[in-house]
Amino acid sequence: MQITSDNTWDDVRSELCDVVITALIALHTLTPDAREVFMAHLAGVTERSLGADPTR
């Protein structure tokens, strides 16, 4: 979907959800330990942006 001035915020939210779902499926396809890979990456992003680790 191309975002235009005709799109609603619901359209944009739906597209963002589609991107997240696609990325998680791709991660699961590429690695058997997708949850651990994602959580480790999320911890790094959180540490960089908030200074906290969400997994603790």
More confident residue, 7 or 34: 34
CB atoms within 10 A of CB 4: 7
Interval 13-56: pLDDT, tens: 999 999 999 999 999 999 999 999 999 999 999 999 987 665 66
Scan for tokens 């690695």, then name that residue.
31
DSSP classification of residue 15: H
Stated pTM of the model: 0.69
- CA count, 13 A, side-chain hemisphere, 31: 9
Is the pLDDT confidence value at 2 over 80? Answer: no
Asked whether 27 and 37 are in contact (CB, 8 A), the reply is: yes
Please give the pLDDT value at position 38: 96
Please give the pLDDT value at position 6: 83
Asked whether 47 and 53 are in contact (CB, 8 A), the reply is: yes
Q: Taking each helix axis as running N to C, give the angle between helix 9-30 and helix 34-50, from 0 to 180 degrees, rounded to the nearest 10.
A: 130
